[in-house]
Chain A
Amino acid sequence: MVAATEAIVNGPGMSSRERVLERIAKANSKAAGVPESIPRGYDCGSTQSTDETVALFERRLQDYDARVFRIRSNEIAARAAEILQSGHRQRIVVPDGLPTAWRPAGLAWIPDDELSIDVLNAVDGVMTGATLGVAVSGSIVLQHGPAEGRRVLTLLPDYHLCVIQAAQVVETLPEAFARLDSARPVTFFSGPSATADIEMTRIKGVHGPRFLDVLLVED
């Protein structure tokens, strides 16, 4: 047992905060070394055309067993209806700010009005927008704006239908970080949740959504 054997000894009137800060200052006065600038010689921009980037993004998502549908913006509602109905998914949660034009009639849309986690755990799926796509790693980035919803929305349901514009897809991670708003929460997801904890065998869907469909809007 590591913890209990070590007594808490603070100097008189000295908080742990002051103590740790003092130790750091002392250690660094002795051994810190000279300042250096960060060498940023790595690839920061894209090397390929927009079409190639979007194609790479699509390929990477498919590697993760996600389905990708390339569509025009006026087809979103129709394709969403088709995909959801063929998957027998009826009760779909949507964040408040998801454009109503994206929601086809005839499905049981459940707006996220502070839904309880038990309700979220029992729905058939969730439909959201996205902030960014990163082609190299097939990642979709959410900053949880009005069309993306709070973080738990895209976590508890077993199915996620995600709408992303081709113009939102960048090739590399540095390009993504240049576009992200550092003041807002960020969630990256790269394929469905997975584990390789048992004999390094990749198993899909441990706790997050097991199924991901992406509507990739090309205009």
Chain B
Amino acid sequence: MNLVQLNPPSPDPKTAPPFPAAAKIDLRDTQLRRNIARATDTIQRKRAALVEEKKDWQALRDAGAAIRREALRNLDGYLLQFEDRFQAAGGTVHWAANAAEANRVALDILREHDAREVIKIKSMTTAEIGMNEYLAQHNVTAHETDLAELILQLGGDQPSHIVVPALHKNRQQVREIFARSMGLPGLSDDPEALTAAARQYLREKFLRVKTAICGANFLIAETGGVTIVESEGNGRMCLTLPETLIAIVGIEKVIPRFADLEVLLQTLPRSATGERMNPYNSIWSGVIPGDGPKNMHVVLLDNGRTRVLRDGIGRQTLQCIRCGACQNACPVYRQTGGHAYGSVYAGPIGAILTPQLEDMRHAQSLPYASSLCGACYEVCPVKINIPEVLVHLRARVVDRGRRKLASLFDQERAGMMMMAAIFASSRRYEAAQRLARTAQRTVRHGDAWYHWLPGMAGRWTETRDLAPLPQETFREWWQQRRRS
């Protein structure tokens, strides 16, 4: 019996509408906004309580950031060390420069084992490369086994959060999807009943399907180890029951030493799900005699990551350990949810990762999808300065635009050039203030704020009011004071 096997296309930043347009549509969905607010509030509350009790939290963040920076600084050396150890333990390492290569490598392995079906552990990386659709086109059915991913797959939906991809769905919506696709019309909407239905639906697949695909949270250079962090046990099923296992892993996921996990396994679960430890962690290397898969492959994926590495400011993006804390903390994400970002990576981390992976050619609106409030930086367990990268990427977007001839006649550019000239000299600055005050007198009555401005400046007053210029500026007051 082959029930619904929809493969909703992964969101593609190359074709996605700009963030403001997409957000406008999602903001009208009050159910979606209620679900997202509820879920992010819950995780944030749990996280805050557990961070509060860790008196050494800032020291753990410092250590985590340094570990990740060090891994990136010697990335080639650590990857080669990983490759060497992992292959010595009986595994095989493949390298993929882009999405197409990674998908092809995986398909070749599946064909070698005559696999028509695979079971999958939740993996953002395989979503990034559109693996499920690729496999479907080549007649391989991929079964997602993470509960949230199963909800999305059966519902023909897209992920909206790194850690809890279906957080935009409530229990009634999940019930509808399960009742329809599992043929259980009498199913209740109690989360316990829904979980039990998923357990039964998936158990048959775990016991039958002989090939699995996963990602990895960390690769360990020192030991050739692969680390998978999870809650449900679907991961352990996929890691131990099949005969063949393929891990698709971004090259940035490597860490230098086994003992580095003593830091990251404290900060990741607290940041991601608000738990002191998530229910299961698995660490192993290669093939374990008499235990689990006999064929173990790791595909190391670049797909734009080395491009990010080239940028002195942008490269800290690759320190990310995919905890999703920045999404839960972000006042923009908390209103729009993840779909508006047009990428599997949503929220603040997505706003800096996606445009860089796309070489700033696509997703150019994402660095602006932020108020630069800094909440994301504050919660980041590896101290990625997301606001710094956002501002840097905004400059890169502007720089790209500047190369176009049309930009010579651009109002914004002309305005900015004028501002630059004014700010460059105090004499000019003071003259401009006097001039503006004089001009203001001709259009204003009393102390009212501006609700409307002409031309391009009108974009400001579309969404906020502007205070009038004061009768006396600070500089004037200061000079007056010195004179008297």
Contact surface of A with B, Cβ cutoff 8 Å:
1-4, 6-8, 10, 15-17, 19-21, 23-28, 30-33, 35-43, 60, 114, 117-118, 121, 134, 136-139, 144, 150-152, 155, 173-174, 176-178, 180, 182-183, 185-201, 203, 205-208
Task: Choose from A3, A39, A151, A176 the contact partner of B240 (Cβ within 8 Å).
Answer: A151
How many pairs of A and B residues are in contact by the CB < 8 Å rule?
Answer: 274
B67-75, B329-337, B368-376 - the one binding chain A: B67-75
Within the complex, the shortest CB–CB distance from A95 to chain B, in Å, comes to: 11
Q: Of all chain B residues, which has the CB nearest A136? A: B276
The count of residues in chain B whose C-beta lies closer than 8 Å to any C-beta of chain A is 111
Q: Of all chain B residues, which has the CB nearest A41? A: B59
17 other A-B residue contacts (CB within 8 Å) besides A173-B262, A191-B279, A197-B166: A3-B131, A3-B133, A8-B100, A23-B302, A25-B76, A28-B72, A30-B310, A31-B311, A38-B66, A43-B56, A151-B291, A174-B262, A182-B222, A190-B278, A199-B191, A200-B42, A207-B202
Which residues of chain B from 224 to 259 have a CB within 8 Å of any chain A CB? 225, 231-234, 236-237, 239-241, 251, 258-259
Q: Can you name 27 A-B residue pairings with CB atoms under 8 Å?
A: A2-B129, A6-B100, A15-B95, A16-B96, A19-B97, A24-B306, A27-B309, A31-B310, A31-B312, A39-B63, A39-B66, A42-B263, A60-B276, A118-B207, A177-B261, A177-B262, A182-B222, A182-B258, A190-B276, A190-B277, A191-B279, A193-B280, A198-B174, A198-B191, A199-B39, A207-B233, A208-B236
Task: Choose from A17, A23, A28, A117 the contact partner of B73 (Cβ within 8 Å).
Answer: A28
- Taking the complex as formed, is B365 at the interface, i.e. its CB lies under 8 A from any CB of chain A? no
Known: A41-B63, A117-B207. A195 touches B232 (CB 8 A): yes
- Taking the complex as formed, is B379 at the interface, i.e. its CB lies under 8 A from any CB of chain A? no
B232 A193 Cβ-Cβ under 8 A: yes
A200 B279 Cβ-Cβ under 8 A: no
- Taking the complex as formed, is B284 at the interface, i.e. its CB lies under 8 A from any CB of chain A? yes
Known: A8-B101, A182-B222, A182-B225. A208 touches B292 (CB 8 A): no
- Taking the complex as formed, is B110 at the interface, i.e. its CB lies under 8 A from any CB of chain A? no
Q: Which residues of A contact B309 (CB under 8 A)?
A: 23-24, 27-28, 31
B232 A38 Cβ-Cβ under 8 A: no
B262 A203 Cβ-Cβ under 8 A: no
Assembled-state Cα–Cα distance A28/B202 (Å): 44
B130 A3 Cβ-Cβ under 8 A: yes
- Taking the complex as formed, is B223 at the interface, i.e. its CB lies under 8 A from any CB of chain A? yes
Q: Which residues of B contact A207 (CB under 8 A)?
A: 145, 199, 202-203, 206, 232-234, 236-237
Q: Which residues of A contact B300 (CB under 8 A)?
A: 20
A206 B291 Cβ-Cβ under 8 A: no
Most buried by B among A3, A144, A155, A186: A3
B164 A197 Cβ-Cβ under 8 A: yes
Q: Which residues of A contact B311 (CB under 8 A)?
A: 31
- Taking the complex as formed, is B273 at the interface, i.e. its CB lies under 8 A from any CB of chain A? yes
Q: Return the 3 tightest CB-CB contacts between A and B, nearest first.
A: A208-B233, A207-B233, A137-B277
Q: Which residues of B contact A136 (CB under 8 A)?
A: 276
Q: Which residues of A contact B75 (CB under 8 A)?
A: 24, 28
Within the complex, the shortest CB–CB distance from A20 to chain B, in Å, comes to: 5
Q: Of all chain A residues, which has the CB nearest B66? A: A38
Known: A24-B309, A185-B288, A186-B283. A206 touches B259 (CB 8 A): no
Within the complex, the shortest CB–CB distance from B454 to chain A, in Å, comes to: 43
Assembled-state Cα–Cα distance A206/B302 (Å): 34
